[in-house]
Structures are given as structure tokens and as C-alpha cells.
Amino acid sequence: VPGPTALDMARAFRSVRADPLTFLGEVAATYGDLVAFPVPGPPALLLNDPADVRRVLQTSARSWGKQTVQYAALARVTGPGLLASSEPSWIEHRRLAAPAFHHQRLDAVAGQVRAAADAAIAARLGPSFHGGLVDVASLVHRIGLDAVGRALFSADLSDHAQRLLDATSDAAGLVVRLGRSVLPTASWAPTPTNVRLRSTRRRLDGISADLVDQRRRRGVASDADAYGDDLLGLLLASGLSDAEIRDELVTMVIAGHETVAAGLAWTLMLLAEDQAAQDRVRAEVAAHPGPVSLLGHRETMPWTRAVVDESLRLFPPAWALSRRALEADVIGGREVPAGTLVIVSPWLVHRRAESWPDPLAFRPERFVGAGGAPPAYLPFGRGPRLCIGREFALGEMVVVLSRLLASYRLEVPTGWRRPAAQAQVAVHPAGGMPLIVRPLAGG
């Protein structure tokens, strides 16, 4: 299998760490759809061919697992929560959490997501705002966190908001650093990263314990036989230990707001660059009967939904997924042994010219009327480990767009240059997303 030599890797060392998206793009452009990295031990492969990707992600979780550096680094913050878990208990936890994402439940929390969007918009773009440059990335970050709090924990996170945003962004930075470190260090070693990680974990533990205590007190006070049917209620009623509940809470906060916020920031940028596409969203919102819900957009708001789909193609927040072969398998016609590491990058697959004509162009039409997910499209992963928050996230993105664009027009400032795409836990715009926001007459 072709791939860079150890010397190439040593030369590229800095760029691998500083800008992995560009590095991966160059590697794929040079070596093609199946690339081997020079590592001792079992092979480490980058897969871009949609058929290979499907094989790895869609087979049973018993053949390919998450025993990788990427997920070990995440687990240092989230513990074996749903996203990082490579344990057999994963399937039980997934079943426990699933009802919090069922359609019925999503229908019920649409109002909470609208409220989260409206509150942040009013706070930042209220009556005293007459238009100007706004970092929309930080605006949607707050909405993302607030929406998770209200919809999944029925909790107002505003008391905790700043602490949570700080702790999760520190945690994300540390996870990235651990994931890219060359030499694994023992978690007990007093390295600066480990010390900061422990303190970040303590902060997240504190917030999670507060949320659990509040809910338990409420449950006892109301003598309720159930804790409620949101995610926190399900977890509390499930008999999981406090440590397991904490792991799931922290997982949902991290997985549930960074990704949506990053996705929304890029979507707003693409719409600010393409006024006609933005006007079409606004027209759809105006024509929508009643408030926009979290479900059914493909039918009720096909253009807006296509904008979101296309934005997640160009800027997939989850830019790299990894798996370890738990048994020998065949990839690209070659046998690979147990222990093989595979990296799949939605960022690369979504920009593959063989799969997407004019891949860098923003063309929501690609998704209008498209039935089912195209093979080379995986912003939410695929197979048994598909994102549990997919419907929630897509609904939230459509709702936030509808609330914002109904009353404001977004434009790019003069001399516009796109912010660089920075691969953290999610792909963020480096330095935020400063766009001109103008209130619409009568909005």
C-alpha cells in the first residue's frame, strides 16, 4: 500500500500537528484512496474510498472497535461515555439513552431549542443592536450549549454556562493535544497536560454533580415516581452509577454543542457568501406554517435542509474517525491483520472529486430531492456507531437558521477572507466567524 516514508513523516511533523486537514489532503492527493502510514506494528491506514469506509464503519461493532489513540484521549475527559466507549457495555448505554432522541421526544423539545436560539439572539442582537460585525461563532456556541441543557437535561445551564464553556473548551484542547502527542504518557505522570486535565475533569465533575443533585432533589420533592423522560431523567432512572451518569453527561455536553456550533458557524458563512441561497432560506421560513420543528425538514423546508446538508459536506465538524480491527479483515482487496488502525476522514471523503463534481463549490441543489445518504457522505458517521444526536443536531441547525434569518441578514465584510479551518475536536473557524449582521425592517 503506498504512503509516506518515515522520513516524509518526520519532515511533515510540524504540519501534521498544526494543520492536519491540509496534511491529510496532501497525503490523499499524493497517494490516493488507500494510504499506509509508516508505523511499527500492525498497519495504520487512511481510507477514502466510500466502499472501504462503509466496510469498516458499517460492519458489526465486534469487527472494528474504538480502541484507538483518538478515543483513548477523549476517554480521559469523558470516561467510557457513549462516544468514546469501546466496551461491551456501550450497547446497553446506547439503548438507555436512545429514547431521549426518539421522534416523539424531539417533537416535545423543539420549543426548548427555539427558546435557546431566541434567548441568545436577544442577548446579543437585541433592540439596542443596529447592525454591525458580530462573531457569529460565539453566538451559536452559546445556543448549542443552551439547547443541550434545555432539551436533554431540562436544565437552565446559564448559571454554569461560562464555567461549562471554559471547561469544555479546555477539555477539547487537551484531548487534541493528547491525541496528537507522539509518545503516550502514563495518565498518572505529573506532566503539565495531565495536571490541567485533572483540574478540567474536576470542574466538569462539579457541574455534572450539581445537575444530578438538583434533579434528585426535585424528584424527591415532587415525590415523582419517574425522573422525567429527558436524557438526565433516563440516566437517573436507569440504575447507572454516579460515575457512569457523569460520563454520559459530559459526553453529551461535549459531543452535543461543539459540533452543532461549528456546523452552524460554517453554514452562516456560506449563506453570507451566497445571498441568493440565503434569500431562499428566508423565503422558506416566511412560508412555513407555524414555528419550525426539529423534524420533517426534508419535506417542509427542503432548501434549508439542503443548505445544512451541503454545509456539513463542505465543513464536517467531525473531521476524523478512527477504528481498530479486532479481527483480520479485507480492505481495498487486501487482507489486513487484527490490530490494524484505520482513519476515516469525512473532510477528505466529502471533498473527493470522484464522488462530488466540483467538490469545493457550495451547491445545496446536490441534496434537494436526494433520497437517502449518498455513499460518500458521512458527517454523522455510519453503521452501529452512527451519531445518536443526528436528528436533534439537524433539527437544531434548521431551527437556529430559521430564527436568525427571519430577522437578520448576514453579509461578509469587505476584503473578506474565510477563516482557516482549524481541526480541534470539531473543525472550527480559527479566530471565530466575524460576519456583518443587519436587522431586517419589520424583523
Write down the least CB distance from residue 89 to ligand HEM, Å.
11
Write down the least CB distance from residue 55 to ligand HEM, Å.
14
Write down the least CB distance from residue 441 to ligand HEM, Å.
32
Of all residues in the shown chain, the one whose CB is closest to ligand HEM is: 389
Output 4 or 317, the one with its CB closest to ligand HEM. Answer: 317
> Which listed residue (306, 321, 349, 401) binds ligand HEM by CB under 6 A?
321
Binding mask 87-126 for ligand HEM (x = CB under 6 A): -------x--------------------------------
* Long-range own/partner contacts, residues 238-244 (CB < 8 A, 24 or more apart): 238/96, 240/93, 240/96, 242/209, 242/212, 243/79, 244/79, 244/93
> For residue 144, what is the enclosing H or E element?
helix 136-153
Output 425 or 436, the one with its CB closest to ligand HEM. Answer: 425
Write down the least CB distance from residue 30 to ligand HEM, Å.
25
Secondary structure (DSSP) of 383-432: GGG--TTHHHHHHHHHHHHHHHHHHEEEEPPTT--PPPEEESSSEEETT-
Give yes or no for a contact between 395 and 304, defined as CB atoms under 8 angstroms apart. no
- Residue 174 amino acid letter: L
Output 137 or 252, the one with its CB closest to ligand HEM. Answer: 252
Write down the least CB distance from residue 346 to ligand HEM, Å.
7
Size of the site for ligand HEM (CB under 6 A): 24
Distance CA 149, CA 168 (A): 14
Check residue 387 for interaction with ligand HEM (CB under 6 A).
Answer: yes
387 assigned to a ligand binding site:
yes
Q: Which of 419, 407, 122 is nearest to 278 (CA)?
A: 407
> For residue 168, what is the enclosing H or E element?
helix 161-180
Distance CA 443, CA 439 (A): 7
> Which listed residue (73, 74, 83, 435) binds ligand HEM by CB under 6 A?
83
Write down the least CB distance from residue 81 to ligand HEM, Å.
7
Q: Which of 402, 439, 415 is nearest to 132 (CA)?
A: 439
> Which listed residue (74, 116, 148, 167) binds ligand HEM by CB under 6 A?
148
Write down the least CB distance from residue 278 to ligand HEM, Å.
20
Output 15 or 89, the one with its CB closest to ligand HEM. Answer: 89
Instruction: Provide the grid cell at 393.
Output: 443536531
Give yes or no for a contact between 63 and 45, defined as CB atoms under 8 angstroms apart. no
Q: Which window, 20-28, 191-199, 384-392, 434-442, contacts ligand HEM (CB under 6 A)?
A: 384-392
- Residue 195 amino acid letter: V
> Which listed residue (319, 347, 380, 408) binds ligand HEM by CB under 6 A?
380
Distance CA 182, CA 12 (A): 13
Chain positions 222 to 281 lying near ligand HEM, rule: CB under 6 A, are 251-252, 255-256, 259-260, 263
> Which listed residue (3, 317, 364, 395) binds ligand HEM by CB under 6 A?
317
> Which listed residue (347, 356, 392, 408) binds ligand HEM by CB under 6 A?
392
Q: Which of 68, 67, 37, 47 is nearest to 331 (CA)?
A: 47
Secondary structure (DSSP) of 220-244: HHTT-SS--SSHHHHHHHTT--HHH
> Which listed residue (157, 376, 388, 405) binds ligand HEM by CB under 6 A?
388
> For residue 140, what is the enclosing H or E element?
helix 136-153
Bridge partners of 342, per DSSP, are 45, 323
Distance CA 182, CA 264 (A): 32
Write down the least CB distance from residue 262 to ligand HEM, Å.
7
> Which listed residue (47, 393, 400, 401) binds ligand HEM by CB under 6 A?
393
Q: Which window, 36-44, 294-302, 354-362, 373-381, contacts ligand HEM (CB under 6 A)?
A: 373-381
Output 109 or 436, the one with its CB closest to ligand HEM. Answer: 109
**In sequence order, which residues have a C-beta less than 8 Å from that of residue 109 and are 6 or more positions away?**
150, 151, 230, 294
> Which listed residue (318, 336, 399, 435) binds ligand HEM by CB under 6 A?
318
> For residue 122, what is the enclosing H or E element?
helix 103-125
Output 82 or 301, the one with its CB closest to ligand HEM. Answer: 82
Q: Which window, 181-189, 202-210, 380-388, 412-420, contacts ligand HEM (CB under 6 A)?
A: 380-388
Give yes or no for a contact between 434 and 413, defined as CB atoms under 8 angstroms apart. yes
> Which listed residue (21, 47, 53, 82) binds ligand HEM by CB under 6 A?
82
Annotated binding site for heme: 387
By the criterion CB under 6 A, which residues form the site for ligand HEM?
A: 82-83, 94, 148, 152, 251-252, 255-256, 259-260, 263, 317-318, 321, 379-381, 385, 387-389, 392-393
